[in-house]
Amino acid sequence: MAKWRMRLEARGEVSRFMLVAAPFAAVAFTLLVSSFFVAWAGAPIGRAYALILEGGFGSRFAWSETLTRATPLILTGLSAAVAFRARFYNIGAEGQLYVGALAAVAIGGLHGGTGFAAPPALLFPLMIAAAMLAGALLLLVPALLRMRLGVDEVVTTLLLNFIVLLFVSMMLEGPMKDPVAMGWPQSVALGDDLQLGKLIERTRVHTGLLWAVALAALLSAIFKYSTFGFAVRAVGANPRGAAFVGVPVQWTMIAVALISGALAGLAGAIEVAGRTGYVTLDMSPGYGFSGIVIAMLAALNPLSVVAAAVFVAGVLVGADSMSRGVAVPTYIAEVIVAISLLSMLVATAFGRYRLRWR
């Protein structure tokens, strides 16, 4: 008796319909599966979803909070998307964000808020450059360890997150501690002339959002039209084949690591200069890890990262409204985001492969 086996077979050509339909199918499946968790928590499903939508997108205030939270998510999502395109799996954007924030405050916030006694027009770009350099150098170490010693970058970048948080804690309790702060440790604050302006008055939305969107557009153009973008795609598709045709694989990987780390470091600087004004240990509620989810939801497309970040930010912000309205834990928002990631991966896989019984 013949035995039938199921196997995945690559489609000859991926249709545009499948590529467009995959995200909608993933969203529909996410809502369906998440509804079971909402019902399990004892809340009316329709009301819970309506509150999430209203809390994240239903008013001017809701949109302002969503866009404020989306700003660092766009940058960490871009950080992950750049690295993952070259199959360099940067799991350390959280740590790179924190060292970027710390470097920004070290330049712009120490010495009574005057930094290095330079005018704000010079001090601000130095502050941003220091943050990007700190994030880039932090990721350069795992990149060199992978290329020279074959050390898995997933392990090194993940472990560096914990090392960085311990270092930040030490700095906040020591040389960078605000002497006038009471209670929870925090760094010295940036001066008002070093903080980003408001994009929308009487809201927390700042001009860092424009920076993030502009970088997404720039990276999209680089990946699509430049030789460097072609090299990154080639290295991500087949490193040995790329080397065979003359692509400098190692230099491309180093450049990718530097860009990815710099974007995450910039996220820290933007968060400090645009929202908090100083560094605390709870400044980031997992923006670095959420950036990985956003990059995967966006299929590593820089422009799609913007839309994915707004979606994730809206769900997280709307979850607070849902929690107040129907007494459902806000952790369900994280469950929804996680399910959406898995759904998107499965939908994308079915867009590129078909099941065959043989």
- Residue 355 pLDDT greater than 80, yes or no: no
4-13, 103-112, 143-152, 219-228 — which is least confidently predicted? 4-13
Q: What pLDDT score does 8 carry? A: 63
CB 142 within 8 A of CB 151: yes
113 pLDDT tier (thresholds 50, 70, 90): very low
- pLDDT (0 to 100) of residue 261: 95
Is residue 310 predicted with pLDDT exceeding 90?
yes
Q: Which residue bears the tokens 């560094």?
A: 279
Label residue 14 by pLDDT band (50, 70, 90).
low
Q: Which residue has the higher pLDDT, 183 or 337?
A: 337
User: Across residues 79-106, what is the average pLDDT?
Assistant: 93
Highest mean pLDDT among 53-67, 210-224, 338-352: 210-224
Task: Compute the average pLDDT of residues 315-344.
Answer: 80
Residue 180 has a pLDDT of: 74
> Which domains, from first to last, does the chain contain?
15-34+45-357 (1.10.3470)
**Closest Cα to residue 292, out of 138, 22, 76?**
76
Residue 257: CB atoms within 10 Å: 28
Question: Which of residues 44 and 132 earns the better pLDDT score?
Answer: 132
Average the pLDDT over each of 75-84, 117-126, 265-274 and give the range with the smallest value.
Answer: 117-126
Question: Between 12 and 262, whose confidence is greater?
Answer: 262
Lowest mean pLDDT, pick from 155-164, 307-316, 348-357: 348-357
Q: pLDDT at position 218, please?
A: 96
Burial 154-181 (b: 16+ CB within 10 A, else e): eebbbebbeebeeebeebbeeebebeee
Q: What is the mean pLDDT of the chain?
A: 85
Residues 6+ apart with CB under 8 A from 227: none
Mean pLDDT lowest among 71-85, 166-180, 279-293, 340-354: 340-354
Burial class of 144 by CB neighbour count within 10 A (0 to 12, 13 to 18, 19+):
middle
pLDDT value, residue 211: 93
Q: What is the C-alpha separation between 93 and 268, in angstroms, rounded?
A: 10
